[in-house]
């Protein structure tokens, strides 16, 4: 008897050790209850609005629009949220859920550190213990975020196994969860992992597209022609796409990290270069070798440096409902600098992948067309790394 729950087409599922099965079943039951609980939703909305600063702005990037000479460009400013990224949406939802479930401890993985910072923040707010697993390589690339997490009271554990990046941090968080389940919730940071995580995280991030829709209807009286977002695991992208999936005329474009190029080994463009596999609890597309060994991926962006993609994205790709395009380090860095100079907005290097693609497609579209680009996070954390990329000897 196959359990079809938590499947997106062929993707998704629950490929995890038996030790964790009752924990995810318990989580699913709790979520199914609380998602319809008016009190839970009231508390979450209050946290979103009063604490995280929602709704985030939908900003008309007039200078950029004019400079590119094509479609009208709006930026969904998730970078203006408390903690500086979309990650807080999911974390507030999961922390509140965990608290209702009687959990007192949150564990999380983090790549760029944004999800770790958000989790540490929610844990501080709600009086919970917090442990964050971060690849050692990333603790060096994102040293400032490590300090922020510690400042917020979290313990940060550098992960030295494997490639010492995001995938290893996920593996280590899963291992930790199998050893301590009773009081601990694994606050997964993206729309990935075993069911019900891809659904839970999507639902908490769907506030992004809900707001975009309301805001664009108010400003333009119609839906956008395209929504563009960066994709690592894919949480800000699915959040940006979700309420437009049924609006077939809205193009949904996910930007994957191509690293040094999709024709090199130093890439993290999963949908472009990966193939179907089963890893980290889900069936989806993964960068892997011919024997199913997970490939060591690379991107300048620690947050997109992941060899897999969330199962719902894999499904939207299969259905042809969303397009996934590779964007290189060089293109992303150029867009990072461009948005800073043109609009006075420093985007996260992750989000700069989406900006880079918008810069490619906007000039090809007529001025009456509308593009929404999600700026998933702010770029302060990336300044030192980008300076080094440009050959400047800057350290935090």
Partner 1 sequence: MSNIKNAFKNKKAFIAFFTCGDPDLETTKKAIRSAVKNGADLIELGIPFSDPTAEGPVIQAANLRALKGGITTDKIFAFVRELRKDIDVPFVFMTYTNVVFSYGVEKFVSECQKSRIDGLILPDLPFEEKEEFHPICAGYGVDLISMVAPTSEKRIAKIAGEAEGFLYVVSSLGVTGMRSEITTDLTSIVATIRENTRIPCAVGFGISTPQQAAAMAEYADGVIVGSAIVNIMEKYGKDAPQYVGDYVKEMKKALSVY
Q: Does 218 bind partner 1 (CB under 8 A)?
A: no
DSSP for 163-201, written as a single string? TSSHHHHHHHHHHHHHH--TTEEE---SS-SSTTHHHHH
Please, which residue, 109 or 225, has the CB nearer to partner 1?
109
Q: Are 71 and 225 in contact (CB under 8 A)?
A: yes
Active site annotation includes 109: yes
Of 42, 66, 150, 175, the one binding partner 1 by CB under 8 A: 175
Q: Is 87 a catalytic residue?
A: yes
Listed in sequence order, the residues at least 6 apart from 39 whose beta carbon sits closer than 8 Å to its beta carbon are none
Closer CB to partner 1, residue 15 or residue 334?
A: 15
32 contacts partner 1 (rule: CB under 8 A): no
Distance (Å, rounded) from C-alpha 124 to C-alpha 262?
Answer: 40
Handedness of CA 296, 235, 93, 20 (dihedral sign): negative
The answer to the question of residue 298 lying near partner 1 (CB under 8 A) is no
By CB under 8 A, tell whether 121 contacts partner 1.
Answer: no
- Round to whole Å and give the CA distance between 326 and 271: 9
Query: Which token pair is 338?
Result: 């461009």
- Name which of residues 154 to 173 contact partner 1 (CB under 8 A): 161-162, 167-168, 171
Residues numbered 176 to 215 that lie near partner 1 (CB under 8 A) are 178-181
125 vs 41: CA distance, rounded Å: 18
Q: Judged by CB, which is closer to partner 1: 2, or 218?
A: 2
Site for partner 1 in 257-276 (CB under 8 A): 276
Minimum separation from the CB atom of position 247 to partner 1 (A): 34
Instruction: Assess 277 for contact with partner 1 (CB under 8 A).
Output: yes
9-29 burial, b at 16+ Cβ within 10 Å, e below that, comes to: eebbbbebeeebeebbeebbe
Residues serving a catalytic function are 87, 109, 376
Residues that bind partner 1 (CB under 8 A): 1-3, 13-23, 161-162, 167-168, 171, 174-175, 178-181, 276-281, 286, 288, 290-294
């Amino acid at each position: 008897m196959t359990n079809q729950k938590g499947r997106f087409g062929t993707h998704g599922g629950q490929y995890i050790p038996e030790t964790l099965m009752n924990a995810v079943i318990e989580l699913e039951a709790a979520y199914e209850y609380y998602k319809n609980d008016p009190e839970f939703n009231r508390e979450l909305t209050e946290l979103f609005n009063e604490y995280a600063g929602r709704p985030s702005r939908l900003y008309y990037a007039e200078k950029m629009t004019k400079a590119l000479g094509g479609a009208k460009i709006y930026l969904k400013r998730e970078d203006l949220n408390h903690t500086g990224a979309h990650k807080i949406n999911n974390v507030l939802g999961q922390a509140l859920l965990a608290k209702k479930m009687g959990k007192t401890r949150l564990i999380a993985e983090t790549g760029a550190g944004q999800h770790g910072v958000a989790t540490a923040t929610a844990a501080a707010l709600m009086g919970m213990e917090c442990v964050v697993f971060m690849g050692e390589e990333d603790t060096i690339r994102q040293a400032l975020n490590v300090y922020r997490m510690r400042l917020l009271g979290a313990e940060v554990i550098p992960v030295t196994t494997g490639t010492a990046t995001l995938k290893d941090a996920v593996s280590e968080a899963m291992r930790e969860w199998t050893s301590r389940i009773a009081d601990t919730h694994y606050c997964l940071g993206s729309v990935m992992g075993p069911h019900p995580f891809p659904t839970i995280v999507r639902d908490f991030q769907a506030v992004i597209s809900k707001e975009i829709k309301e805001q664009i209807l108010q400003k333009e009286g119609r839906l956008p022609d395209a929504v563009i977002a960066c994709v690592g695991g894919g949480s800000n992208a699915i959040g940006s796409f979700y309420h437009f999936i049924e609006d077939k005329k809205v193009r949904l474009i996910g930007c994957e990290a191509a690293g040094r190029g999709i024709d090199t080994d130093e890439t993290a463009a999963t949908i472009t270069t990966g193939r179907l596999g089963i890893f980290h609890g889900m069936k989806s597309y993964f960068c892997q070798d011919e024997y199913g060994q997970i490939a060591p991926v690379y991107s300048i962006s620690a947050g997109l440096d992941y060899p897999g993609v969330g199962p719902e994205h894999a499904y939207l790709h299969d259905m042809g409902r969303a397009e996934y395009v590779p964007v290189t380090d060089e293109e992303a860095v150029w867009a990072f600098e461009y948005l800073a100079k043109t609009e006075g907005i420093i985007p996260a290097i992750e989000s700069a992948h989406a900006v880079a693609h918008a810069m490619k497609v906007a000039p090809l579209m007529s001025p009456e067309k509308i593009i929404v680009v999600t700026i998933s996070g702010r770029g302060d954390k990336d300044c030192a790394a980008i300076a080094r990329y440009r050959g400047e000897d800057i350290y935090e």
